[in-house]
Amino acid sequence: MSAGAISTLLPFGFFIVLVFIIGIYCLLASYNLIRVLLGLELLIKGATLLIGIVGFVTGRVVYTQTLIITLIVVEVVIIAVGVGLVLGLHGYNKTLDLRRARNLKG
Amino acid sequence: MAINIIIMVLFVLAALWTVMSRSLLRGAAGLAIVSAILAVLLFRINSPIAAVFELSVCAGLIPVIFVTTVSLTEPMVWPEIYKHMWMRLRRYWMLPLILIIAGIVLTQIKFNILLALPAKISEPTVGQMLWNLRPADLLGQVIILLAGSIGIVVLFKEKK
Amino acid sequence: MKALLILLPLIGLLIANLLPKRIGRVFAFLAIVIIGLFQITLVTCPGSLSGVDPLTLTFLMLIALVVVLTSISSIAFPKTDSQKVNFNSLLLIILMGMNGLVMVRDIFSMYVFIEIVAIASFVLIVFNRERDSFEGAYKYLVFSSVATVMLLTGIALIFLFSGSTSFESIKMALNSSPKNPIILLAMALYMVGLFIKGGLVPFHGWLADAYSAAPADVSPLLAGIVTKTVGIYPLFRVVSLYSVTGPIRTIILLVGIISIFFGALAALYQKDFKRMLAYSSISQMGYIVLGFGCGTPLGYAAAIFHLFNHTIFKSTLFFNAAAVEKQTQLRDMDSMGGLAQKMPFTGVASALAALSTAGIPPLPGFWSKLLIVIALWLAGFKVYAILAVVASVITLSYMLSLQRRVFFGNVGEHLLHIKEAGAELLIPSTILVLIMVGVGIFFPFIIGTFLLPVTRLW
């Protein structure tokens, strides 16, 4: 049983790690405030898929579905507030450039 | 199983396109596509209700939020977009390389891990589980939605 | 009874928002004060809350105290009616979020409440809609969400072994196969996520910006209780399920000692009052984490006691900073001076809090730092103990520098007209200073009633 679980888990885990790498690279390398949120979204997608596959492997599909539903609700609120912050920052700087938003230093 | 692997490859390719695409609108569309593929994957691993939520919220609501923001802040014209595109590609060309290297490294690691999986139990439906067994999560969802709405009011209300 | 602590604020929130704004603002403020006092009485009367252990009780008391005092101090900063209702609604949400965080017995519900507190703090930071606060809140959001993804990954990997997210099943799963690489990876990811949320080095990038850019009435809340509840409490809860040994212990000790030194050294170079206090917070959180990393009951109790003390004295310092900022409209310490003559109460409170931070007897900061050093020494980490004492000296030096620059010396010409801050900012300071001095003097009493029950938790 354990070996069968590993054989289903491993390919998914491999691709999930790739998605995490894409998300983190986007977060680190982008100069645009909104693209950073895009990278964040990709990371959360990776985590969602990980929870889903863990539920499938352990047989607890219903449990993980409840976790995923709650996670999606939380994600929407975070993105909504994040977008509000981006719009507020744009109102002041008139640009979405992350490099301009380095006013606080030290 | 092979179909799952194909869908996962599409998933990673769509994520790559989203990140490297030239304009933010394409990025938002790419996010919708990524969410749709994720929903298909969730369907295939026996999580249909989570898949429906993912499809309706993350492939529908969140790209709409992003497109609204982009249209409110960045009306970019075409020559600028091309200039930006080449500058971005110069920063982002390393990403597919990193992915390929990571892929090769990961396939070479030998996993001799024993998993001690928990015992199989019979589970109720999602609705029963949420309401009876995880009421704290439901309460948390209600509170976070209230927090989000108060947050939006604070952020967007104009100063008189 | 436990559910009341979350449901009462919820009802208060809904009513306060549905009433017309002029009544709603008074109602919201009264709701916070009454619920906070109710929470404190519930906690101090023994036996009225069932199924909660002393760690949760300590946090509940601190949460109620700081939220009520923040609400009182926010009267000093003028707001329109609807702004006041929104502000107090956000305080009610943070109260609900933190109460829920410390009371649930499930790792995923804890994550949901962590996010509630995070969202409410983002909005509180940008409450005055200034440019710096948008930037600070955005940085906080990005760091916090990356930490969220790490927490979720850790939870998912632990779920592979436990099949459920409740604490008991996790404890069974963690103890049944402790050396499994997946479990070590899960714990490491979870802890790194918590370190980011708690602002420990090297993941502290958001903290100085967020604390200093927040409005003056929000900073005591953030520094005093929110970062601790969101970052340190889950660490205490979850990692103690696992047993603090081996590589996990080394990571915790290293992060603790690096945070102490980095925070202290960075605080020496700051010119902005609130930024220096922010770096000082990083340093003190390092002490708490170091105490926890000992892995012994004494270290655990010392860490919780230092957490209690830090809430009291750091909130006092931030309330004083708010008073100074309100009266002088300044935050740059070099342009201040001699304020002790103009603002005597604030000066005395700040001096006592600064001495407590540096660890001078008989103030309680001395006792908790001493206990941490003793715990480290007894657990065999003699080098860490010596380093902690050395860092105390650096702490003393930057705190004295703060006092000298802001409060002592001659009054500058532009400051001659300054008066003492109003009652709304003095009352929180005074209450906290009284608690601080009381705990310091009655320390033997504290050992019996507070430290020993907490030790039994280990």
Residues C243-254 pLDDT 10s: 777 788 888 899
Q: How far apart are CA B56 and CA B52, in angstroms?
A: 6
Please write down the HEC assignment for all residues of C91-127.
Answer: HHHHHHHHHHHHHCCEHHHHHHHHHHHHHHHHHHHCC
User: According to the model, what pLDDT value does residue B158 have?
Assistant: 62
Percent of chain C with pLDDT over 90: 26
CB contact under 8 A, B151 and A80: yes
In angstroms, the separation between the Cα of residue C96 and the nearest Cα of chain B is: 8
Any CB–CB contact under 8 A between B6 and chain A? no
Any CB–CB contact under 8 A between C267 and chain A? no
Q: Has residue A105 been placed in a domain?
A: no
Report chain A residues whose CB lies below 8 A from the CB of B121: 59-60
User: According to the model, what pLDDT value does residue C314 have?
Assistant: 92
| Chain A residue closest in CA terms to B24 | A35
| Chain A residue closest in CA terms to C267 | A106
CA C256 to chain centre: 16
> Does residue A106 have a pLDDT over 50?
no
pLDDT tens-digit map of C208-223: 888 888 888 899 999 8
> Does residue B65 have a pLDDT over 50?
yes
User: According to the model, what pLDDT value does residue A3 have?
Assistant: 63
User: According to the model, what pLDDT value does residue A20 have?
Assistant: 93
Percent of chain B with pLDDT over 70: 88
> Which of A67, A78, A101 shows the shortest C-beta gap to C108?
A67
Per-residue confidence at C294, pLDDT binned at 50, 70, 90?
confident
Any CB–CB contact under 8 A between B50 and chain A? yes
Of B110 and C401, the structure prediction assigns the larger pLDDT to C401
CB contact under 8 A, C159 and A55: yes
In angstroms, the separation between the Cα of residue C377 and the nearest Cα of chain A is: 35
CATH code for the domain in which residue A49 is found: 1.10.287.3510
Under 8 Å between Cβ of B130 and B137: yes
Query: Quick one: angle between helices C297-328 and C344-358, nearest 10?
Result: 150
Summarize the confidence of residues B49-70 as an average pLDDT. 92
User: According to the model, what pLDDT value does residue B114 have?
Assistant: 66
pLDDT tens-digit map of A57-75: 888 888 999 999 999 999 9
> Which of B121, B144, B153 shows the shortest C-beta gap to C119?
B144
Domain boundaries, chain C: 1-103, 105-243, 245-458
CB contact under 8 A, B42 and A68: yes
Under 8 Å between Cβ of C393 and C263: no
Q: Which of residues 15-54 of A touch B (CB under 8 A)?
A: 15, 17-19, 21-23, 25-26, 29, 32, 34-35, 37-39, 41-42, 45, 48-49, 52-53
Any CB–CB contact under 8 A between B87 and chain A? no
User: According to the model, what pLDDT value does residue C93 have?
Assistant: 94
Per-residue confidence at B76, pLDDT binned at 50, 70, 90?
low
Summarize the confidence of residues B42-52 as an average pLDDT. 92
Q: How many domains does chain A have?
A: 1
Enclosing domain of residue A46: 2-99
Angle at alpha carbon of residue C128, lines to C124 and C130, rounded to 5°: 115
Any CB–CB contact under 8 A between B43 and chain A? no
User: According to the model, what pLDDT value does residue A72 have?
Assistant: 95
| Chain B residue closest in CA terms to A53 | B45
Q: Which of residues 10-39 of B touch A (CB under 8 A)?
A: 11-12, 15-16, 18-19, 24, 27-28, 31, 34-35, 38
Of C111-115, C367-371, C440-444, highest mean pLDDT: C111-115
Any CB–CB contact under 8 A between C122 and chain A? yes
CB contact under 8 A, A54 and C160: yes
CA A79 to chain centre: 10
pLDDT tens-digit map of C66-91: 999 999 988 888 878 788 888 999 99
> Which of B45, B94, B102 shows the shortest C-beta gap to A18?
B102
ipTM: 0.94
Report chain A residues whose CB lies below 8 A from the CB of C153: 47, 50
Show the beta-strand stretches assigned E in chain A.
Answer: none
Q: Has residue A39 been placed in a domain?
A: yes
Of A36-45, B107-116, C9-18, C440-449, highest mean pLDDT: A36-45
User: According to the model, what pLDDT value does residue B78 have?
Assistant: 62
Go through C192-224 and write b for each residue having 16 or more CB atoms within 10 A of its CB, e for each that does not. bbbbbbbbbbebbebbbbbbbbbbbbbbbbbbb
B/C interface, count of CB pairs below 8 Å: 87
- Give the number of other Cβ atoms within 10 Å of residue C175's Cβ: 11
Which neighbouring-strand residues pair with A97? A32
Summarize the confidence of residues C14-28 as an average pLDDT. 85
- Give the number of other Cβ atoms within 10 Å of residue C92's Cβ: 30
pLDDT tens-digit map of C369-410: 998 999 888 888 888 889 989 999 999 998 888 888 888 877
Under 8 Å between Cβ of B144 and A77: yes
Q: Has residue A93 been placed in a domain?
A: yes
Summarize the confidence of residues C109-123 as an average pLDDT. 94
How many residues comprise chain B?
160
Report chain C residues whose CB lies below 8 A from the CB of B140: 100, 109, 112-113, 116
Against chain A, the chains showing at least 3 CB pairs within 8 Å are: B, C
- Token pair of C180 as six digits: 């499994």
Percent of chain B with pLDDT over 90: 41
User: According to the model, what pLDDT value does residue B32 have?
Assistant: 95
Per-residue confidence at B159, pLDDT binned at 50, 70, 90?
low
Of C153, C261, C264, C143, nearest to C209 (Cα)?
Answer: C143
Looking at every residue in chain C, the average pLDDT score rounds to 86
pLDDT tens-digit map of C295-313: 888 888 889 999 999 999 9
> Which of C115, C122, C132 shows the shortest C-beta gap to A104?
C132
Any CB–CB contact under 8 A between B137 and chain A? yes
Q: Which of A25, A53, A67 to mutate to test the interface with B (most CBs of B within 10 A)?
A: A25
In angstroms, the separation between the Cα of residue C35 and the nearest Cα of chain A is: 26
A/C interface, count of CB pairs below 8 Å: 101
3-state secondary structure of C361: coil
> Does residue B160 have a pLDDT over 70?
no
Under 8 Å between Cβ of C70 and C99: no
Q: Has residue A104 been placed in a domain?
A: no
